[in-house]
Chain A
Amino acid sequence: MLALMLLIRRFEERASQQYQAQKIGGFCHLYIGQEAVVVGAVAAVRNDDYIITAYRDHGHALARGTSANACMAELFGKETGCSRGLGGSMHFFDKQNHMYGGHAIVGAHVPLAAGMAFASKYRGEDRVTLCFFGDGAINQGSFHEALNLIALYKLPVVLVCENNLFAMGTSVKRSTSLKQIVDRAEGYDIPGEIVDGMNFREVRDRLSEIVASIRKNPHPAFVEARTYRYRGHSMSDPASYRTKDELEKYRLDDPITRLRAQLTREGKLTNDEFDRIDKKAKEGVLAAVKFAEESPELPLEKLYDYVYA
């Protein structure tokens, strides 16, 4: 799991560099700082459970098992990308690994999560849907409509709010009339709790308990994972709306450093081992850049191939 968090971290750092080198176009939202949330959550579910998220989605695909090659190639707009270069940074999809996107209209994918969970229940399966979204989504109409439907139909969804304190440049304080985000769940009679999103083990353990309860008897749950993104909202955002001190405070609480310290303390990880894992992540990401660069683009003749099934 440490390896996965490092892979995401190194992937995003390299994506940032490639964006600046203009190899990646459009909008690009980095996940650096939030790695423990998705890695912890994914560690709590089965491979065939459904996962869906918003546009800050690179970490979710990687955590789900999409290769760094396919992710980087997608950023490069190549045919070998996880969405054939047709989706881009905000629209990563991987059907084989049950990663259902990558959705870039804020809150609009929460109803989709309701539908996926509806289908599980309809078929009598015990699958759970993990629906990730940011703190910005909780004031969108589609979010509220979906939460009511999810609660009303008792759908097996874990609603994971990745509260990184800012919706683009607007802080939660300036956007939301609640003392804490988790209180949104109460309005829909959905059990909610807060977890430390910088702590992999806490996320994994709390989610595991919730998922086990849902498998026994389908019901929704809401988790507010408190986390922080180190970078701006997107590559074009210098994040001047927050202070260096605030950023430094969170950096000291870095999820990777924290897991490393936990493992080291327990005698499960040496410095050499950490360096080896990190080196492997870095090399894997470099190889992904090479793969992306050398991959072909979708030929123009295929422009109409994916409009209708």
Chain B
Amino acid sequence: MREITYRQALNEALAEELERDPNVFLMGEEVAEYHGAYKVSQGLLERFGPKRIVDTPISENGFAGLGIGAAMVGLRPVIEFMTFSFSLVAFDQVVNNAPNMLTMSGGQFNIPITFRGPNGPAHQLGATHSHATENFYASVPGLKVCTPATPRDAKGLLKTAIRDDNPVLVLEAELLYSSKGMVEPLDQELLVPLGQAEIKREGSDVSIICYAQTVPLALATAEKLEEEDISAEIVDLRSIKPLDEQTIYNSVSKTHRVVIVEQDRPYGGVGGEICYRIQKNIFDELDAPILRVSQEDVPIPYNERLEKAVLPNADKLITAVKKVCYA
């Protein structure tokens, strides 16, 4: 194992899959000559050439649709959105064309495409650039959605997504590009399956269910809770859809208390769905009502202090954990 950044992990995943399969190409705004707005595609143009690392004009609907059309005839496009907030301009392509094609064609046309890029609130970008899109996209039949939180998961999930025969959205965590973590050596193939959560920390008193940017928050909070003799188990969903219900149920059956900490919205957020499934399937395991920590139900403000107040944070999480533990 070696320590690399989340950004580098994604870069390795792209390079390895471009190397492995000539049908894979990367397309998006500034991916080639500029090396990516977040430098994820650094060096790929030099290595794979302009035929496979393709810069586009600012036309999200156009190039997302181009990717889907190329996938219809057998290529495996990786489409980068500079941020998933901009994917909303391509919403029709991502929601109407990519996932519907297989059903609408009676099984004739699957769409092996990967849409990837940063997602979720970052730091003082204002409402238009801070969308967490996972709950929109996870609601669409035919799409798969994953949300890596560590360099290892980022590399393994992106490689799996590119090999998947369906449209997969890899929602990268904008604030984690420079974070570091241990990853298998380059000569060792790393694939993380879609639909498989991971226990990032074992605990016995409460299950904190999290994903993407809330994973490091949950892990740091667990350390603080330990000082108060509360043992938190951290369940990183890794994939939003398909959802690994079993890992969730196993953890909840052990701790009997749940807090879901999510980066998206309270109304119809990912946590709402998980909450429903837990109470429906293992209601008797619960010793307390499930609590959710999510965004406040407002467009994300620019002001730093207000933005912090809108997003999940350690104080909110600790309060919620203590409440479910009746501590």
Q: Footprint of B on A, CB under 8 Å?
A: 50, 52, 81-87, 91, 93-95, 100-103, 105, 108-120, 122, 141-142, 145-146, 148-149, 152, 305-309
| A115, closest chain B residue (CB) | B69
Give the residues in chain B near A152, CB-CB below 8 Å. Answer: 57
Q: Bound state CA distance, A198 and B63, in angstroms? A: 34
| A152, closest chain B residue (CB) | B57
Considering only CB atoms and an 8 Å cut-off, how many residues of chain B contact the other chain? Answer: 41
Give the residues in chain B near A84, CB-CB below 8 Å. Answer: 106-107
| A147, closest chain B residue (CB) | B62
The answer, yes or no, to whether B190 is at the interface (CB within 8 Å) is no
Q: Bound state CA distance, A309 and B112, in angstroms? A: 9
- Tell me if A95 and B109 are in contact (CB < 8 A): yes
Q: Bound state CA distance, A83 and B100, in angstroms? A: 12
- Tell me if B69 and A308 are in contact (CB < 8 A): no
Give the residues in chain A near B92, CB-CB below 8 Å. Answer: 105, 108, 142
Query: Which of A116, A148, A305 is B57 in contact with, Cβ under 8 Å?
Result: A148
A–B Cβ pairs within 8 angstroms, 6 of them? A112-B66, A112-B69, A115-B75, A119-B74, A142-B93, A306-B106
- Tell me if A115 and B67 are in contact (CB < 8 A): yes
Q: Bound state CA distance, A105 and B98, in angstroms? A: 13
The answer, yes or no, to whether B204 is at the interface (CB within 8 Å) is no
The answer, yes or no, to whether B141 is at the interface (CB within 8 Å) is yes
Query: Which of A87, A100, A307 is B106 in contact with, Cβ under 8 Å?
Result: A87
Q: Bound state CA distance, A22 and B251, in angstroms? A: 53
Q: Bound state CA distance, A145 and B59, in angstroms? A: 6
Query: Which of B65, B74, B104, B142 is A108 in contact with, Cβ under 8 Å?
Result: B65
Q: Bound state CA distance, A25 and B25, in angstroms? A: 41
Give the residues in chain A near B144, CB-CB below 8 Å. Answer: 308
A interface footprint on B218-262 (CB within 8 Å = 1, 0 otherwise) = 000000000000000000000000000000000000000000000
Listed from nearest, the 7 A-B pairs whose CB atoms lie closest are A115-B69, A111-B65, A145-B62, A84-B106, A112-B69, A309-B110, A93-B105
The answer, yes or no, to whether B146 is at the interface (CB within 8 Å) is no
Give the residues in chain B near A148, CB-CB below 8 Å. Answer: 57, 59, 62
17 more contacts with CB within 8 A, not counting A93-B108, A109-B97, A307-B142, are: A83-B104, A85-B106, A87-B106, A91-B104, A95-B108, A105-B92, A108-B92, A112-B65, A114-B65, A115-B68, A115-B71, A115-B77, A119-B73, A122-B51, A305-B107, A306-B107, A309-B165
A interface footprint on B79-110 (CB within 8 Å = 1, 0 otherwise) = 00000000000001100110001111111111
Query: Which of B56, B62, B102 is A307 in contact with, Cβ under 8 Å?
Result: B102
A interface footprint on B192-220 (CB within 8 Å = 1, 0 otherwise) = 00000000000000000000000000000
Query: Which of B65, B96, B101, B109 is A146 in contact with, Cβ under 8 Å?
Result: B65
The answer, yes or no, to whether B122 is at the interface (CB within 8 Å) is no
Give the residues in chain A near B66, CB-CB below 8 Å. Answer: 111-112, 114-115, 118, 146, 149
| B71, closest chain A residue (CB) | A115
Give the residues in chain A near B165, CB-CB below 8 Å. Answer: 309
- Tell me if B61 and A149 are in contact (CB < 8 A): no
| A120, closest chain B residue (CB) | B73
- Tell me if B69 and A119 are in contact (CB < 8 A): yes
* Residue in B56, B66, B92, B101 with the greatest tally of chain A CB atoms within 10 Å: B66
The answer, yes or no, to whether B166 is at the interface (CB within 8 Å) is yes
Give the residues in chain B near A305, CB-CB below 8 Å. Answer: 107
- Tell me if B70 and A115 are in contact (CB < 8 A): yes
User: How close is B178's CB to chain A, nearest CB, in angstroms?
Assistant: 33
- Tell me if B105 and A87 are in contact (CB < 8 A): yes
Give the residues in chain B near A103, CB-CB below 8 Å. Answer: 97
Q: Bound state CA distance, A146 and B93, in angstroms? A: 12
